[in-house]
Structure 1
Amino acid sequence: MNLSRRNFLKGAAFGTAGLGAASAAFLTGCAPQTPTEADLAETGASTSSDYPVQVLGAMDEAAETFEGDVVVLGCGPGGIACATRLAEEGARVLVVEKTTTVGGTGLVCSGNCYISLNSQYQQDQGLEADIPAFYKEWLEAVHYHCDHEVLSTYLRNCGRVVDWLLGYGFGFHMKETPATNGLTGFAYRISQPAKDSGNRQEVYGKMMDLVAQAGGAFHGECTGTELIVDDEGTVVGLRADRNGETVDFMAKAVVIASGGYGANREMIDQYAKNPLLGRDPVLNNGEGARMAWAAGAKQPWNLGALCVDTLYPIDADHVSYPGGVQALGNVMQDAGKARMHVNQLGRRFHSEDAFCWVPTYGGTNAVACDEPYLFVIADQAALDALKDSDETVDDAYLESMTALGVLFAGDTPEALAEAVGWDPAVFSEEFSHYNELCAQGEDPVFFKTAQHLVPYGAGPYYAVRMAPTPFGTCGDLNVTPRMEVRGVEPGSTVKGLYAVGTETVGTMHNDYYWALGQTVGWAHTSGVLAAEEIAANVLS
């Protein structure tokens, strides 16, 4: 069977293929599984032989076995896009998801800067992006240390995937946001539907309905545990846990779309430079990465890179408290850029407006400086303005933030330092020096813009503990432009294994995440690319 919808997806990367079809019902009924201490200890291994893998013909029998054409682990944006693209041609896709939710992190992310280069949607409005120029800018930003071919493949295909999603009713729209790198303007980025509008849930549900109509199935509340390989090492299935019993999913290919390990405290501590735990309510525990490594996947050189973004108030245990005093360090507003940032010792360590220019850069800077959190300094006038603008900020709220170790106060700089635990002489000198720079209108060390050098007024003074909190991890698997998982040996791939979305987004980055708002776009695009490769070269 030819890929009959390939023509409407203009500029597709790969050719035609045939897809088989069979029938199966949508299913639910597999239980979430938290990794044991032994499982987590295994993540320290550097070679695939240290991880378990199931070998066909030499493994215990499962309680139940399901067969399909392709298994997709994870039902977030990447997994849904991949499953839907395959289902369009009649493939039986078994979608395995640890929760009962369709949409994953795609339901909670914001998305006012979704990269879309030369979609028909934009071109119909006279908007055209310079893809080669943007490609070069990206390479410069990551110091050329990324997979150039994967990056090019993404930029050349992201626009057509937007048009494809629009066909399902995905509510993209034009919403101009502050300038951000080369993403300025509608020619380079558009906005996703608002996360509270219900559009994402509706469209993702419609896409999964197509998967069912093509004979596929959604297996909710099911956690993958091991990949199944044949005696030649080709991935031929996935073993999962369902309420304590073993379930196998057999197919001709497996796609990892489980979203990284941003919710796994142990893996974050091991691989990331700083122990910053993702703030979104997700369950990305790293099982996809561990299974792939077990089957021979190569660990990327930048394993541990985080998608670090806007400042969130936190306590010493890295529990975040959005809202309220977060506004004192709102990095996208001029008032936030004017405030002084200090490190754990009460010393200023970077330019606050450079931090605010692009939150991702700022988060990277803080992490690179070995600062798991910083403190934003405010005066009484700033706190009064916050009370006037936010009805949730009252004395009871401020007392609660103080009790949690998020907010600190002192009538003088010395008293504030004592409240936080800094050397009063050190912070007092730093505070006075900053006010002198503001009076002079010049910052000779960090070169902060003069307009943001605003002196502090009268006390009391406040310090808010904040962290550039990550959305999640930035890739734990290397892939080819066809979304094949690269193996340990140079030039090799793990046969039968593909990966999409957050698991692979680090392929296009250095040791930090550059292109603000691009993760979901990459998930959708990589999912489509993986589906087209599997259709062309596995299911034909």
Structure 2
Amino acid sequence: MSITRRNFLKGAAIGGVGVASAGLLAGCASQASGSGDASRVEEGQPAKVSVLGSMDPADETFEGDVVVLGCGPGGIACSTRLAENGAKVLIVEKTENIGGTGMVCSGNCYISLNSEYQLEQGLQADIPAFYREWLEAVHYHCDHEVLSTYLRNCGRVVDWLRGYGFGFYMKETPPTNGLSGNEYRISQPPKDDDNRKKTYGKMVDAVISAGGAMHTGCTGQELIVDESGAVVGLRATQGSKTVDFMGKAVVLASGGYGANQDMINELCSVPLLGRDPVLNNGEGAAMAWAAGAAKPWNLGILCCDTLYPIDENYVSYPGGVQALGNVMQDPAKGRMHVSRFGKRFHSEDAFCWVPTYGGANGVAYDEPWLFVIADRAAIDGLKEADPDTVTDAYLASMKDSGVLFEGATPGALAEAVGWDPSVFSAEFEAYAALCEAGEDPVFFKDAKYLVPYGDGPYFAVRMAPTPFGTCGDLSVTPKMEVKASEAGATVSGLYAVGTESVGTMHNDYYWALGQTVGWAHTSGVLAAEEIAATVL
């Protein structure tokens, strides 16, 4: 069922970004929309959606079959697959570059279940078993059919990408802690390799050869709908010009809101520092909500990565004692993590095998940060490992900044931080007893990581989970149609791929080993094939 005009107008009135952030989206200057006032989200805020025929004329208009907003991995994959099906695709990109986060991510971003590439390596995946493992890891909080669709198609998409020259290599990472996905993990070429640039360029060339076009420097402002409420175009700004891109469908591949600190502040329950390397400012999601798209249950929960030192004003402090909270290092598993009240609240070793676990858990319980406890030996080890950085002067500067705290005894450390000394001292003694007994009856921390602390002085470093991308922006069907706020309905003509829709497969953190770019490519292909089959 597609959303009706009545429900579209209702969604336009209530479905947009709130006042606090709608006017703060980078590149989204407020514009008049002619007589389409009913589609405004808030009085005085950008409309985000306008009805065809009720708009002021654009300075320039382009017409095609499909409009794709964003030229990152999802947008490129979708556009290229559409072009293969004979579609004239208009790619709208806010920057002057192609590739988006696909050009800057680490590259360890794929599972490739039963692709020809992996079968050539002698590795055959048990997809149903992996599916069940994924469900367990996310506590069954995901769209099970979307997940199944992804797992059943990711392999063929990797083979398709290889046909355009995309290189991959196997990750030599053995299965750990039940995460069999490690076994199926592959990587794309390194960031400084020209393969990504060349391959994405070749794919965009295929779009242009099919009659499409690439429009850079264009920031999406409003979705354009017809009288039935179906999405038929996109209004963007290009410098001082207003440009309309018209088609039979619009695909949002704009990457979420991970670079929009204002949206993060409004939507997240605790302060988080966005560190999205690309200009993913949330305009796609904002327009979709205004057009009646559903806001998913996990909206405002971002993918939280490893910990970074931070002060009480949530200002990040670079380098130095980050190794104390680097959960990928085994020694970190032997250290206590305590809340802002000086008490343990999770199993530190569980945090280590899924880096996002601790950050997501803290966010879920409104913990803006945690503290990692170290002894003198740990600090001395950091000095020896990196003597040029971890100097006494550097540590003193971290103390002055409210990131690092020191005390001769556990009680003195508590006073330095601001905890109740009796509470933290009791917690410290209890942890020592666990180490001596070799058993953690509450959090079940692995006995091999119950390592007792040595002599003081003792240190606490304030760490915060930091998101490297959005988790829940838009909900989609297995065909990548954007779900509407009306139960069972979709926003006609609107699709979402990549980060905009990846939260459909997750609850509060990314599982499956950094597969976000793999999802972007696969969802882009799936959307293109659905549009080619039912819209064109």
Q: TM-score range by the shorter chain?
A: 0.7 to 0.9
Of 451, 465, 475, 1:478 maps to 475
Supply the distance in 2 between the matched residues of 1:88 and 1:452 (Cα, whole angstroms).
53
Q: CA-to-partner distance for each residue in 1:75-111, whole Å, 9 max, x for gaps?
A: 1111111112122344322211222221112223224
Q: Per the alignment, do residues 272 and 65 of structure 1 end up closer, same or farther by CA in structure 2, a change over 3 Å counting?
A: same
Supply the distance in 2 between the matched residues of 1:260 and 1:477 (Cα, whole angstroms).
9
Aligned positions of 1:384-423 closer than 5 A: 384-390=380-386, 391-423=388-420
Q: Find out whether 1:352 has 2:325 as its counterpart.
A: no
Alignment: residue pair count: 502
**What is aligned with 2:265?**
269
Is the Cα contact below 8 Å between 2:303 and 2:509 reproduced in 1?
yes
Is the Cα contact below 8 Å between 2:112 and 2:154 reproduced in 1?
yes
Supply the distance in 2 between the matched residues of 1:278 and 1:129 (Cα, whole angstroms).
35
Is the Cα contact below 8 Å between 1:118 and 1:187 reproduced in 2?
no
TM-aligned CA deviation for residue 512 of structure 1: 4.0
Supply the distance in 2 between the matched residues of 1:113 and 1:222 (Cα, whole angstroms).
28
Of 191, 207, 210, 1:195 maps to 191
TM-aligned CA deviation for residue 51 of structure 1: 5.3
Supply the distance in 2 between the matched residues of 1:369 and 1:101 (Cα, whole angstroms).
39
Q: CA-to-partner distance for each residue in 1:173-226, whole Å, 9 max, x for gaps?
A: 112235356543665221222223343233222222222333322222221110
Supply the distance in 2 between the matched residues of 1:179 and 1:321 (Cα, whole angstroms).
34
Q: Find out whether 1:527 has 2:520 as its counterpart.
A: no
Is the Cα contact below 8 Å between 2:26 and 2:281 reproduced in 1?
no
Of 344, 358, 365, 1:362 maps to 358
TM-aligned CA deviation for residue 62 of structure 1: 0.9
TM-aligned CA deviation for residue 511 of structure 1: 4.1
Q: Find out whether 1:453 has 2:417 as its counterpart.
A: no
Q: Per the alignment, do residues 36 and 334 of structure 1 end up closer, same or farther by CA in structure 2, a change over 3 Å counting?
A: same
Is the Cα contact below 8 Å between 2:185 and 2:513 reproduced in 1?
no
SS at match of 1:376: strand
Of 339, 356, 370, 1:374 maps to 370
Q: Equivalent pairs: percent with the same residue?
A: 75
Q: Find out whether 1:260 has 2:256 as its counterpart.
A: yes
SS at match of 1:231: coil
Q: Per the alignment, do residues 477 and 181 of structure 1 end up closer, same or farther by CA in structure 2, a change over 3 Å counting?
A: farther
Of 226, 232, 254, 1:230 maps to 226
Q: CA-to-partner distance for each residue in 1:483-504, whole Å, 9 max, x for gaps?
A: 1112222332211111101111
**What is aligned with 2:77?**
81
Q: Per the alignment, do residues 361 and 521 of structure 1 end up closer, same or farther by CA in structure 2, a change over 3 Å counting?
A: same
Deviates more, 1:186-195 or 1:347-356: 186-195
Is the Cα contact below 8 Å between 2:31 and 2:47 reproduced in 1?
no
Supply the distance in 2 between the matched residues of 1:182 and 1:91 (Cα, whole angstroms).
43
**What is aligned with 2:296?**
300
Aligned positions of 1:55-134 closer than 5 A: 55-112=51-108, 114-134=110-130
Supply the distance in 1 between the matched residues of 2:244 and 2:486 (Cα, whole angstroms).
28
State the AA in 2 paired with 1:481: P
Of 199, 208, 221, 2:217 maps to 221
Q: CA-to-partner distance for each residue in 1:375-408, whole Å, 9 max, x for gaps?
A: 1111121112112222432334333433332222
Is the Cα contact below 8 Å between 1:122 and 1:187 reproduced in 2?
no
**What is aligned with 1:334?**
330
SS at match of 2:170: coil
TM-aligned CA deviation for residue 113 of structure 1: 5.3
Is the Cα contact below 8 Å between 2:31 and 2:46 reproduced in 1?
no
Of 49, 56, 62, 1:53 maps to 49
TM-aligned CA deviation for residue 422 of structure 1: 1.9
**What is aligned with 2:237?**
241
Q: Per the alignment, do residues 488 and 353 of structure 1 end up closer, same or farther by CA in structure 2, a change over 3 Å counting?
A: same
Q: Per the alignment, do residues 260 and 469 of structure 1 end up closer, same or farther by CA in structure 2, a change over 3 Å counting?
A: same
State the AA in 2 paired with 1:294: A
Q: Find out whether 1:495 has 2:492 as its counterpart.
A: yes
Q: Over aligned residues, Cα RMSD in angstroms? A: 2.5
State the AA in 2 paired with 1:472: G
**What is aligned with 1:430?**
427
Is the Cα contact below 8 Å between 2:370 and 2:463 reproduced in 1?
yes
Of 133, 137, 140, 1:141 maps to 137
Q: Structure 1: 5+ residue runs without aligned partners?
A: 1-31
SS at match of 1:296: coil
Supply the distance in 1 between the matched residues of 2:181 and 2:364 (Cα, whole angstroms).
30
What is the TM-score of this pair, normalised by structure 2?
Answer: 0.87
TM-aligned CA deviation for residue 518 of structure 1: 1.9
Q: CA-to-partner distance for each residue in 1:61-80, whole Å, 9 max, x for gaps?
A: 11111222211111111111
**What is aligned with 1:314?**
310
TM-aligned CA deviation for residue 257 of structure 1: 0.7
Supply the distance in 2 between the matched residues of 1:205 and 1:406 (Cα, whole angstroms).
44
Of 489, 494, 512, 1:515 maps to 512
Supply the distance in 1 between the matched residues of 2:414 and 2:117 (Cα, whole angstroms).
54
State the AA in 2 paired with 1:503: E
Q: Per the alignment, do residues 102 and 398 of structure 1 end up closer, same or farther by CA in structure 2, a change over 3 Å counting?
A: farther
Is the Cα contact below 8 Å between 2:147 and 2:505 reproduced in 1?
yes
TM-aligned CA deviation for residue 36 of structure 1: 6.6
Is the Cα contact below 8 Å between 2:173 and 2:182 reproduced in 1?
no
Q: Structure 2: 5+ residue runs without aligned partners?
A: 1-24, 33-39
What is the TM-score of this pair, normalised by structure 1?
Answer: 0.87
Q: Per the alignment, do residues 282 and 422 of structure 1 end up closer, same or farther by CA in structure 2, a change over 3 Å counting?
A: farther
State the AA in 1 paired with 2:419: W
Is the Cα contact below 8 Å between 1:308 and 1:470 reproduced in 2?
yes
Deviates more, 1:507-516 or 1:356-365: 507-516
SS at match of 2:262: helix
**What is aligned with 2:160?**
164
Supply the distance in 1 between the matched residues of 2:520 and 2:292 (Cα, whole angstroms).
23
Is the Cα contact below 8 Å between 1:311 and 1:326 reproduced in 2?
yes
**What is aligned with 2:148?**
152
State the AA in 2 paired with 1:68: G
Is the Cα contact below 8 Å between 1:70 and 1:93 reproduced in 2?
yes
TM-aligned CA deviation for residue 57 of structure 1: 1.2
